[in-house]
Structure 1
């Protein structure tokens, strides 16, 4: 059973406003919880000013150095006029603040709608933005934030699920399919040889892109990490193979206007997808004591979920054996 008292339960409207006002703002008593699970994010009304977005970080996930490094990456991108929503910086130059045992950051409110990945013109624009972003991201590596690899995303995820969550009657099947999956993932990376890792958004899906006017705005760099460039591209692909090829063509047409792309990385799309599937289940498992997770994801950790998970992983093993996407 989830704990009844979770650290986030202390984030009352009064606490949130006190935290924001500790940075010199005057709140107008309006707070609105925004859609966020890993952290807690609120829109806070400001007297005689535009509302701010206050992001309270999940305790224990990142170090201060890792959070500040994320903030500095966003500021660097914004400094090159990329449409990135960077955190507010106070007069002392700080972007990470502490209040009542929590760490938080403040952001300007950014409106917009989800991007239409089926619109090839939109993908062309997104490709250009990501090409510029990765050109900057490749200049220097992260010093504190992690690297996307099969150990952290794959093996550690599998160990957690196998030891604490998978039903006993499914444990053997789960172990077999995940073992085969990770073996194939590792073999693919090994066959690739040297792959360039750079600073990436890391979680570049539709929920982290807001389309406003004719341009996308990238938000929530909470999962920023060192990864191959294709990590920020593959989540925009969907549909059957011809459709994915058309989407990829538009993305890379825009991307290569500003940055080179190693076409060998297309072989990593399915391995990266496999790691994401494993990591997602482990993410839900690690957060299961947070009351918002059982309430929001009631289907998780049921026999049906684990049966479906094993089927999905078997399908992913099959996908890893198919020819990778290739452009002429």
Structure 2
């Protein structure tokens, strides 16, 4: 078996990459929780530690990574609390060392927001409204759109052809086709929605709460998408009424800074379904990366696929329910 590219990221390689940029490292390296890329906290002599992100080869082009960096810098320029990459004296944020693209970030701490706290939701809505205000100012050129074809059709085709056990293939394909039909219908019904630059992966793990304010990290999945893509993952309660209360707080804060097209509420469950399909395919596509079998040992077992099919059935039922409404 060929070695995975990330196996080159030995401690010496990582330290050499930083020292090639002029940093004096003290030898301390702490691997942080990241699977798509590799992220490390690195100790510096007589300075605060720094965060280094080494990008997965061939996932994003240099132009696509640069667009993410420029977007986060535009947010920082508007005094929004996001973590943007550091730039060299020449203004470069995307660095290279022996064929690896990487970026350096200041270390930022914090705790997870309380998504059952109305004040936290309101402030998250306010901040996302400001982020989207910047996101609307121009479009990504190199980065893709969030589409049902990429997240849905391609994911299902990959799983059906390469991952799903034959004993479950017919059930999976039939169910996935029903889901995709509903998803495509929703996106075609609202085909004139505004697409803007969004965070793209706005789950609680990418949100920090510090000094009584929200801070946004990891724009690695940033792309063109409807605004609701950054809002729906904040609605976490299992009870419908509570989700509507969460929605009201988020949108009340959001609309202080950005307009919101209420038709996008019809995309919440289709987007949730796309995330479920895409996540399973993402795990499969990364299975040759040694980190994935180590951290996701339950994946690709008969039990996993049986539970996944059950979750997709429940999601198909959720697509039939009335859309969430403002209170």
For the criterion TM > 0.5, the same-fold answer is yes
Aligned pairs for 1:258-273 (under 5 A) are 258-273=257-272
- Segments of structure 2 that go 5 or more residues without pairing to the other structure are none
Query: Which residue does the alignment assign to 1:138?
Result: 136
Partner Cα distance (2:56, 2:214) in 1: 27
The normalised TM-score by structure 1 is 0.98
Query: Which residue does the alignment assign to 2:240?
Result: 241
Partner Cα distance (1:38, 1:189) in 2: 28
CA RMSD of aligned residues (A): 0.8
Question: 3-state SS of the aligned residue for 1:98?
Answer: strand
Query: Which residue does the alignment assign to 1:278?
Result: 277
Match for residue 191 of structure 1 among 178, 189, 192: 189
Contact 1:154 1:278 (8 Å CA) reproduced: yes
The normalised TM-score by structure 2 is 0.98
Question: 1:30 Cα shift?
Answer: 0.7
Question: 1:193 Cα shift?
Answer: 3.7
Partner Cα distance (1:72, 1:161) in 2: 34
Query: Which residue does the alignment assign to 1:10?
Result: 8
Partner Cα distance (2:188, 2:55) in 1: 35
Question: 1:122 Cα shift?
Answer: 0.3
Question: 1:5 Cα shift?
Answer: 2.3
Query: Which residue does the alignment assign to 1:54?
Result: 52
What do residues 220-271 of structure 1 show as CA deviations (whole Å, max 9, x unaligned)?
A: 0000000000000000111210110111111011000111111110000000
Query: Which residue does the alignment assign to 1:115?
Result: 113
Partner Cα distance (1:48, 1:308) in 2: 51
Q: State how many pairs are aligned.
A: 326
Please state if 1:219 is matched with 2:255. Answer: no
Partner Cα distance (1:126, 1:294) in 2: 34
- Segments of structure 1 that go 5 or more residues without pairing to the other structure are none
Match for residue 81 of structure 1 among 69, 79, 82: 79
